[in-house]
Amino acid sequence: MKKLVTMILLLTCSLAFADNSKWIYTAENDAATYYVMPARSASANPREWALINYKTPLRMNGGRTFLSTVALHEYNCTDFTSRIVSLTSYERHWQQGTATPVDAMTLRPLSNFEPSPPGSIVANNTERMCK
């Protein structure tokens, strides 16, 4: 039952993100191209989805490779911090191919609010979201 719920959730997320025109380009470097999409949030902290298309495949623990990730970021504008709420990796660019969600135990260290490193893409996104 748990696997069925996870698969339905992944399918729903994949269909929601299937229209690449909704992604807003934010940055590019030697490793990847970065996009964002606003997300609705019931909390006081703004949230947005972030899509990263990597230029070369990255390898997960266990050997699986991926070319894109989608993460839900939450920003704390009071202390200029952010955290990742959920993270899924995909075999191909634009969240195509097999989806591999990062499990809660791996994600736990990322779920704490952390300072945004000055000059980083995360700091730029935090500043933009907290205006």
pLDDT tens column, 19-46: 677 999 999 999 999 999 989 877 789 9
pLDDT tens column, 84-129: 989 999 999 999 999 988 876 677 766 789 998 899 998 999 999 9
How many residues in the chain? 131
The CATH number of the domain holding residue 35 is 2.40.128.710
Host domain of residue 27:
2-129
The structural domain count of the chain equals: 1
C-alpha separations of 66 from 10, 44, 58, 76 in Å: 16, 33, 5, 29
Q: Is the dihedral of CA 36, 78, 80, 100 positive or negative?
A: negative
